[in-house]
Amino acid sequence: MPAPRRFPLVTLLALAASVVGPDFAGAQEEAPPVVVRAARLLDVVAGGVVEDPVVVVRGGRIEAVNPARIPETDRHIDLGDVTLVPGFIDLHTHLAFQISGESFTRRVTDTPADFAYDAARHARITLMAGFTTVRDFGGDITVALGEAVTAGDVPGPRVFPSRNPLGITGGHCDVTGFAPGIVEQGVEDGVADGPWEVVQAVRYQIKHGATWIKTCATAGVLSFEASVGAQQYTFEELEAMVEEAARHGVKVAAHAHGTEGIKAAVRAGVATIEHGSMLDDEAVAMMRERGTYLVPTTYLADAIPLDQLPAPIRAKAEEVLPVARESVRRAIAGGVPIAFGTDAAVYPHGDNAKEFGVLVGLGMSELDALRSATTVAAEVLDRADELGQIAAGFRADIVALPGNPLEDITVTERPVFVMKDGHVFRHDAAETAARTSAP
């Protein structure tokens, strides 16, 4: 009997798209311009609301906002009483995963094809929630997903992938909890000890598509090592990682809960601290002075399904999550640059925008919370010249909200219209339906 055919992950993701959404690839470069109207537009740079905006979109980018002359076109979208905001950016997602009672054994029960279908479904859900860009941490599937989205095979946010995270043997970024010999990992998988192995692991991830390196500087919650915050990588290992990544034009994101591990990662030059659950005043000052961004992933403390966690993991979650809230409050008050991230997968994909309300509750203004997912997140990705604003020359990533988010941040949770690269993916209300008529 012939061996079963094996499909590349990009092919699997394209097949998955057929069950989660329609094909949307098209020759938009040759299409006529689209004119988008609404009651309001949030200028996230100036910090004010523009009344009755007119946005002209052509070839996937914004051609003009409130131009003196509106181009002739039969493509008009009048959205009515909504506020236009830039497409949101989530800097910490896991699109191939979703926590459940079975998630801790899926490594040995499921195949890459299963995770690929999950990634395609979650990508579409995330896009429909108004998130047009993500930085995703999810192995080869993340890389393939990003390629499939770019090719127009899968509806989803554009993806900045990290491929496999780097961690010490037996640490948070290693797979533990199984018998010896089950799901053992090595340098190519990201499990690396000592500066030279770390360098090898960085090179391998970049070779296979990583545009970011993620590392576990400390222990964590959703793994079976005993501690939740102990430092795992040494300063020398972290420094070697950052220096090697920088030689390739790549930055490092460090998962870090514990104080000493946070400080070591900041001193080593990482670009972002993920979670940052145990910041003290010195760590806050270091991050502020060095411009190290905090990606706090804060809403998950409200939403993580504790009853589905194995007992030792639940105990760690109950220990660290209350502390983390106060740590983020301290960072906001201390002037640490905050960039938006959610850890989506720890709670359902599509609920990403609930992070905004938590950030506001911890001391951020509504405007700064919105900037964390637009202009600030674009800075982190080195895409501040094309993402995070509704302005001429920027990508045509436009979301419409049923209210003013500067007055009620929770409207971010209820988008009624989503455009990415000039393609309309969501358009809810009949009264805001696109009309093809003269302006």
Axis crossing angle, helix 311-333 with helix 281-290, rounded to the nearest 10: 60
> Do 356 and 369 form a contact (C-beta atoms < 8 A)?
yes
Cite the DSSP H helix spans in 133-223.
139-151, 195-207
Same domain, 412 and 263: no
Q: Do 260 and 358 belong to one domain?
A: yes
Which value, in Å, is the radius of gyration of the alpha carbons in the chain? 22
Residue 426, domain member (yes or no) = yes
In terms of domains, do 285 and 314 share one?
yes
367 with 424, same domain? no
What are the helix (H) ranges across 5-101?
Answer: 9-20
CA distances from 27 to 31, 148, 169, 365, 432 (A): 7, 17, 48, 41, 25
Within-domain flag for 407:
yes
Q: What is the CATH number of the domain that holds 398?
A: 2.30.40.10
Regarding whether 102 and 81 lie in a shared domain, the answer is no
Contacts of 184 (CB under 8 A, 6+ apart): none
CATH of the domain at 351: 3.20.20.140
Q: Tell me how far the alpha carbon of residue 371 is from its chain's centroid.
A: 14
Q: State how far Cα 239 lies from the chain centre.
A: 25
Domain count, the chain: 2
366, 403: one domain: no
326 with 370, same domain: the answer is: yes
Residue 439 forms part of a structural domain: no
Say if residue 240 is in the same domain as residue 119: yes
Residue 200 CB contacts under 8 Å (≥ 6 apart), including other chains: 187, 192
Domain extent at residue 418: 28-68+75-87+389-431
In angstroms, the CA 411 to CA 11 distance is: 36
Q: Which residues contact 361 (CB under 8 A, 6 or more apart)?
A: none
Rounded CA separation 198/15 (Å):
35
Q: What are phi and psi for residue 159, nearest 5 degrees?
A: -120, 130
Series of mean pLDDT values for 10-residue runs along the chain (439 residues): 46 54 50 95 97 97 96 94 98 94 80 93 98 96 96 97 95 82 86 98 98 96 85 98 98 97 98 97 98 96 88 87 94 98 96 98 98 98 98 98 98 98 88 38
φ, ψ of residue 342 in degrees (nearest 5): -125, -30
| Whether residues 129 and 248 fall in one domain | yes
Please indicate, yes or no, if residue 348 is contained in any of the structural domains. yes
Given a contact cutoff of 8 angstroms between Cβ atoms, the answer to whether 36 and 424 are in contact is: no
- What are the b/e assignments for 78-94, b being 16+ CB within 10 Å? ebeebbbbbbbbbbbbb
CA nearest to 17, candidates 132, 130, 124, 151: 124
End-to-end CA distance of the chain: 64
Whole-number pLDDT of residue 35: 97
CA nearest 127: which of 330, 435, 424? 424
299 to each of 30, 75, 348, how far by Cα in Å?
Answer: 42, 39, 11
Q: Compute the Cα dihedral for 146, 150, 156, 157 and give only its sign.
A: positive
Tell me: do 144 and 155 sit in the same domain.
yes
Q: Are 29 and 59 in contact (CB under 8 A)?
A: yes
State which H helix or E strand residue 366 sits in.
Answer: helix 366-372
d(CA 125, CA 111): 22
Q: Does 349 reside within a domain?
A: yes
Confidence at residue 257, expressed as pLDDT on a 0 to 100 scale? 95
Q: What angle do CA 65, 69, 72 make, to 5 degrees?
A: 100
Q: Identify which of 206, 297, 198, 188 has the alpha carbon closest to the alpha carbon of residue 251.
A: 206
Q: Are residues 195 and 331 in the same domain?
A: yes
Say if 398 falls within a structural domain.
yes
Q: What are the distances in angstroms from CA 61 to CA 67, 170, 385, 391? A: 15, 46, 12, 9
Q: What is the 8-class DSSP label of residue 102?
A: T
* Contact residues for 23 (Cβ-Cβ < 8 A; gap 6+): 17, 152, 153
Q: Residues, the chain, total? A: 439
Is position 11 within any domain? Answer: no
pLDDT, position 434: 40
Q: Are 385 and 376 in contact (CB under 8 A)?
A: no
- In a domain, residue 1? The reply is no
- One domain, residues 144 and 93: yes
Using alpha carbons only, what angle is made at residue 207 by residues 201 and 213, rounded to the nearest 5 degrees?
55
